[in-house]
Amino acid sequence: MAMFKDVLETVRMIEKERLDIRTITMGISLLDCIDSSGAKSRQKIYEKITRLAENLVKEGERIENELGIPIVNKRISVTPIALIAGSSDDLNYVEYAKILDAAAATVGINFIGGFSALVPKGFTKGDRILIDSIPEALATTNCVCSSVNLGSSKAGINMDAVKRLGEVIKETAYLTRDADSIGCAKFVAFANAVEDNPFMAGAFHGVGEAESVLNVGVSGPGVVKRALEKAQDASFGEMAEIIKKTAFKITRAGHLVGTTVAERLNVPFGILDLSLAPTPEVGDSVARILEEMGLEHCGTHGTTAALAMLNDAVKKGGIMASTSVGGFSGAFIPVSEDEGMIEAVECGALTFDKLEAMTSVCSVGIDMVAIPGDTPASTISGILADEAAIGVINNKTTGVRIIPVYGKDVGDTAEFGGLLGRAPIMPVNKNDCSVFVNRGGQIPAPIHSFKN
């Protein structure tokens, strides 16, 4: 039996510090659903997802009950639809999004990811059609999430994709204008996208993955913050040690849940993504961890260093705890989903430029940031290009999930509700970058030596 204090520590983490399993995400390959007839392909997709994931929610809830640890989301990721739909004669892939939505509703999950295209070096016919279909797909479905990988350290950055996606994000914002442009919250533009990420909106099931796997995303910013609260005078080395130990425990809980669910569903366990993913609830914030280290507000000088240390220590603790660590594994900094980030933006401590700097040292990137609705598409493309450049040059994943909230401006707030939270509209640089964005072509792959 674990020691008395260990049992109490676990109970406290769950009850008071919001330790939870953020998501169990079943990855499903749809490669065998390819058909020259779009209708037949979609029928196969629906049949396969509902068959393989039939018991996902039921088993998830059962394990949640037995172990007494909440599993907040049950989700599915599928093979990028551009690869599946490309062989059909369809000229629009919205129907594919609708069938994913229908399958998600049938099995009772809240998000399905994989309405995606991988275009770091160029477009296929299917990629182009899929990208053109994104605005309508996100506006007419509830659970479908979309992503596009537009650059990689090996291929460089597809600037034609960057340009087009700026327009796609604007169109999506317009089509979902009645709900604060929420469609954009379901779309991520990646550089160096990972193929086994369980977190939305960027989850998809890579082509190198098995037929079906069970991935797990663990969270627990509240647990890390509480652990640091108890060590007010700790040096950086001591803080890193505390974070590592905490990350270790959280990861072990996630590993247990993941392997147990996988076993019961009779699918292989894929990866465990240990990411500190905040929620808008008080006590579940990454920004507050950084502030606990001694920053008045997240966003002030020192924030990038604090985040770098946090991210690194989380990875080290997690890697020790599970042999199957994958996905992003680090700290997320979505503004609208983090109560501390929201406050930091509202009080002027956290700016867009600082967020960009922070993305160079943590998982993912500019995430759930609301900007004025009249921001030009070219400016959004400029943001995508900057973020992709950080990822491509530094050999890391970066993403952009940005919402140009239609009809709103700086001083307003966008309300997304639930886990997506609320976002104060942040100002962006108003100087024009359209000539740069309109050049077209490819930013060449970076050199991988002479790193200075």
Partner 1 sequence: MRAVVTVIGKDRTGIIYNVSKILAENDVNIEDISQTVMHDFFTMIMLVDMTNMSVDFNVLKSALEKAGETIGMSIRIQHEDLFNAMHTI
Which residues contact partner 1 (rule: CB under 8 A)? 1-4, 6-11, 15, 65-69, 249, 252-253, 255-256, 260
What is the nearest approach in angstroms of partner 1 to the Cβ of residue 256? 4
What is the nearest approach in angstroms of partner 1 to the Cβ of residue 228? 19
- Output DSSP code: residue 207: T
Give the angle 130-135-136 at the CA atoms, nearest 5°: 90
What is the nearest approach in angstroms of partner 1 to the Cβ of residue 86? 43
Instruction: Single out the residue of 363, 195, 357 nearest to residue 278, CA to CA.
Output: 363
User: What's the start-to-end Cα distance of the chain, in Å?
Assistant: 52
Residue 398 to residue 364: CA distance in whole angstroms:
4
What is the nearest approach in angstroms of partner 1 to the Cβ of residue 255? 7
What is the nearest approach in angstroms of partner 1 to the Cβ of residue 243? 16
The residue among 67 and 433 lying less far from partner 1, judged by its C-beta, is: 67
The two tokens of residue 8 are 């109490």
The residue among 42 and 249 lying less far from partner 1, judged by its C-beta, is: 249
The residue among 65 and 395 lying less far from partner 1, judged by its C-beta, is: 65
The residue among 6 and 229 lying less far from partner 1, judged by its C-beta, is: 6
What is the nearest approach in angstroms of partner 1 to the Cβ of residue 8? 7
The residue among 15 and 346 lying less far from partner 1, judged by its C-beta, is: 15
The residue among 11 and 39 lying less far from partner 1, judged by its C-beta, is: 11
248-261 burial: b if 16+ Cβ within 10 Å, else e: bbbbbbbbbbbbbb
Instruction: Single out the residue of 82, 162, 90 nearest to residue 114, CA to CA.
Output: 82
The residue among 260 and 300 lying less far from partner 1, judged by its C-beta, is: 260
The residue among 272 and 403 lying less far from partner 1, judged by its C-beta, is: 272
Helix (H/G/I), strand (E/B), else coil: 338: coil
What is the nearest approach in angstroms of partner 1 to the Cβ of residue 389? 40
What is the nearest approach in angstroms of partner 1 to the Cβ of residue 261? 13
Residue 165's region, left for phi above 0, alpha for psi from -120 to 50, else beta, is alpha
Q: How large is the angle between the packed helices 303-321 and 236-265, nearest 10 degrees?
A: 50
The residue among 216 and 400 lying less far from partner 1, judged by its C-beta, is: 216
Q: Are 220 and 13 in contact (CB under 8 A)?
A: yes
Residue 342 to residue 423: CA distance in whole angstroms:
7
Residue 375 to residue 142: CA distance in whole angstroms:
25
What is the nearest approach in angstroms of partner 1 to the Cβ of residue 67? 5
Residue 23 to residue 214: CA distance in whole angstroms:
10
The residue among 66 and 89 lying less far from partner 1, judged by its C-beta, is: 66
What is the nearest approach in angstroms of partner 1 to the Cβ of residue 323? 13
